[in-house]
Amino acid sequence: MKTTKHETLFKYYGYTDFRPAQETLIDAQLSGRDVLGVMPTGAGKSICFQIPALMLSGVTIVVSPLISLMKDQVAQLRYGRVPAAFINSSLTAQQYREVLSRAGQGQYKILYLAPERLETIDFLRFALQTDISLLAVDEAHCVSQWGRDFRPGYLGINAFVKKLKKRPVIGAFTATATADVKRDIISLLDLDNPMSITTGFDRPNLYFGVEKPKNKSKFFHETVVQKEGMCGIVYCATRKTVDSVTSELRRRGVSAARYHAGLDDTERRLNQDDFISNKITVMVATNAFGMGIDKPDVRYVIHYNMPKNLESYYQEAGRAGRDLKPSECVLLFSNEDITTAEYFIAGAGKNAELSEHQRRKLRYADASRLDKMIRYCEIDGCLRSYILRYFGEKLKGKCGNCSSCNRQSWWDSLRRMIYGA
């Protein structure tokens, strides 16, 4: 007797019910239809392709952009007794051959890999001899030059699919995408009449704040010390800032650890495990930290520096309050942050994988997104309303749960006290 989707959900994940968008996207893929799911951080995107992967015949290929993300996802799947593996540059040649061999024998249901791996002769040979039922594209915004993390390797996905003897169902998933990016995803991945769902971006339990302290370091450290015992994530723009902020927090008695690409795998893994298990309460990190991390009790996310764009900011801030309890997302803004962001944008524009036309287009898109990020930090109006408008949604009135609305409410009260109106 065939296992149902609800039985599969309970067996491997321990849940009894799907969220509405999850079930719709799962049903579409099981029926053979392509999908595009835009679901904010914490909405359960992975389940949308992992459940079909477990129910369909053959193997599911998951295209993922980061080695750390692949490792985290596969570790979680294996913990839940799901037969899964990854292929990336961290494997030796022997390990790579062994994974391909086992996948070819049907020992894995889910196989994670970077998009560039699809172009290799060995993998294409494997793919032509294997029943691939589903191709899931995670972080699908990477296919678009208007997306925040354009990755040229993602442009080769469609060419790979066209080489296969049988076209698999294609599922594209991302946490944040504007209308332009969604159109690009559908076009560049050649999705066939996809079931497209964008779940609401609003997270009412999250407080959004922008602060512009004269002494950022003093303001920040005093704020974190006041939140003693609460679980929080602090995002910094550079590794150097991560190291200095972590050292100062520890000096002040805060249980903090660091995470960035300059650390060895052992320290990163240990610090991440300590954070998830509450052995430490504060993780100070670059944007290398967070993807695939499902920790529900993060009470605050502080951005010590302004990110390059609102997509990145909202995804990182959205790691707070996944348990739906009140949580804070605060950005500490200074003019120096603009210079740092411009420096990173200029570096991205030098990517040797891109043509000159692509570089110009990418620089323009990055500069446009940075301008909107700066605007977020400087507006007097409702911050939540600004974010939602950016992603194509509207909020009626003021949210009453952001620093702008709260300041306006204070001034309104003061005016009423003075003028009686």
What would be the CATH architecture of the domain defined by 206-378? 3-Layer(aba) Sandwich (3.40)
Q: Domain map of the chain by residue range? A: 5-198, 206-378
Mean pLDDT of the chain, nearest integer: 90
pTM: 0.83
Q: What percent of the chain has pLDDT over 90?
A: 68
Tokens describing residue 399: 């949210």
Closest CA to 399 of 381, 377, 382, 376: 382
What is the band of 152 on the pLDDT scale with cuts at 50, 70, 90?
confident
How far, in Å, CA of 391 to CA of 319, rounded?
18
pLDDT tens digits for range 235-288: 999 999 999 999 999 999 999 999 998 999 899 989 999 999 999 999 999 998
The CATH superfamily assigned to 5-198 is: P-loop containing nucleotide triphosphate hydrolases (3.40.50.300)
Closest CA to 47 of 57, 62, 58: 62
The pLDDT tens digits of the residues spanning 196-249 come to 999 888 999 999 999 999 999 999 999 999 999 999 999 999 999 999 999 999
Helices (H) and strands (E) in the chain, counts: 16, 13
Question: Which residue is it, tokens 């294996």?
Answer: 78
Helices within 67-202 (DSSP H only): 67-79, 93-104, 121-128, 157-163, 179-188
5-198 and 206-378 agree in CATH topology = yes
Instruction: Confirm if 132 and 103 have CB atoms less than 8 A apart.
Output: no
**pLDDT (tens digit per residue) in 76-85:** 888 888 999 9
Q: Which amino acid is at 299?
A: R
